[in-house]
Amino acid sequence: MGSRATNVLLSRANRIRQKLQSTLETSVLEIEDVSYQHAGHAGVKGDANETHFNIKIVSPKFDGQSLVKRHRMVYDLLADELQSGLHALSIVAKTPQEELKVR
């Protein structure tokens, strides 16, 4: 089975995880599906399965990048998901050093 067929079988959350982990070399990646909170909203068509996510991501690739650039990096990696039903992301994007300061 090719990678395209495999991607169809994976949940959106798992596809998001694979894309972000492989490209951004994450040390922390938390993905929370909050689609149930948006069922029935105007922007959600049909059922609200895997349309809204909260993502916390810690990556050394964010070093020296503005918050806007970090978010753009995540959105660029997930462009195909956004074209196929992903409606909204809430992103917390930090460097490893920033994450250590929180603890």
Taking only the tens place, the pLDDT of each residue in 45-103 is 554 577 888 999 999 999 999 999 999 999 999 999 988 888 789 999 999 999 998 76
How many other C-beta atoms lie within 10 A of the C-beta of residue 53?
A: 21
Predicted TM-score (pTM) of this structure: 0.79
Length of the chain: 103
Return the higher-pLDDT residue of 12 and 72: 72
Instruction: Kindly state which CATH superfamily the domain 3-102 is placed in.
Output: BolA-like (3.30.300.90)
3-state SS, one letter per residue, for 44-79: CCCCCCCCEEEEEEECHHHCCCCHHHHHHHHHHHCH
> SS3 for 22?
helix
The DSSP symbol for 90 reads: E
